Amino acid sequence: MSLFSNFVDSVATAVDSVTLNKQSDGLIHSVIKVNQECFKLQKLLGEGGFAFVYLAQDDKKQLYAIKVIKCVSKEVTENAKKEGILLSRLNHDNIIKIKDMCMIKEDDRSKMLYMIMPFYKRGSVQDLIDNNRKSGKYLEEGYILSLFKQVCLGVKALADYRNRQGIHQPWAHRDIKPANILLSDDGKTPVLMDFGSARIARIEIGDKKMANKIQDEAAEHCSMPYRAPELFDVKVNSKIDERVDVWSLGCTLFAMAYGESPFEMTINRQGGGSIGLAT
């Protein structure tokens, strides 16, 4: 059975049950109805590439984060489906969960994928780092290690992933960084988010075309200060695997301790330069 079969079946049903009421100011204040539940988009929380994340509220005044992906091409559509399917099958305390998802067909025949997820009011670890830096403070060592250990457990769940047939199929996030780690309301539990960069971890680079594709994907989805060296210059006959996340984890740990990634620190102390060369 195809990896996308269940998702595609659910989309066919969901599209018929979704309505989108657009206002003059775009998606802000729009109402979406997903499987008999209504969500009002209140404000934009963030954006990147073809994805936008909105704060939304349901009829019970419960807040959610809704990720909206503009499916402008077949590749973007397939990657969005992969992200939704992966998150729906992972069940881990340190990985963001999906409450629901659906595909909406617009009047112009374009498609939008909606992912409804919990809203974390504390924001991200990057927000925490930034707030501390403003007051000249650093995170406590014990707190850093507690958060970091849990993030590693979430990454391990990705590396241990098994597909529907029970076959081990490791995945890599490829964009682990403080900004992609949310904090629970009590601040004790980190939650890894934004899996738009995630890919099957183990890839053999057979030719230049594939090397360029992987390198271009990394340039688009993987933040430079946390990107593994093998993703900056992908070599033919090389292998890419889940160790790219180990590199990003190390950079993230450094940033939690010192306020920025080691390569940002190097560039800032030198007064400029290239992060790509620094790695």
Which residue in the block uniquely carries the two structure tokens 């990705």? 158
Q: Does domain 5-118 have CATH number 3.40.50.300?
A: no
Q: For the chain, where do the domains classified as CATH 1.10.510.10 start and end?
A: 125-278
Inter-residue contact 32 to 38 (CB < 8 Å): yes
The class of domain 125-278 in CATH terms is mainly alpha
Return the pLDDT at 222: 94
109-165: per-residue pLDDT in tens?
778 889 999 999 999 999 999 999 999 999 999 999 999 999 999 999 999 999 889
Q: Report phi then psi at 53, rounded to 5.
A: -115, 125
Beta bridge mates, 182:
124, 191
239-274: per-residue pLDDT in tens?
999 999 999 999 999 999 999 999 888 887 876 666
Mean pLDDT for the stretch of residues 87-100: 94
What's the number of CA atoms in the CB half-sphere (13 Å) around residue 97?
8
Alpha-carbon distance values, 94 to 38, 152, 215 (Å): 27, 9, 28
- Show which residues are catalytic: 175
pTM summary value: 0.85
Return the pLDDT at 10: 43
177-202: per-residue pLDDT in tens?
999 999 999 999 999 999 999 999 99
46-90: per-residue pLDDT in tens?
888 788 999 999 999 999 999 999 888 888 888 888 898 899 999
Q: For the chain, where do the domains classified as CATH 3.30.200.20 start and end?
A: 5-118
Alpha-carbon distance values, 209 to 92, 97, 131, 235, 236 (Å): 35, 35, 43, 11, 9
67 is in an annotated binding site: yes
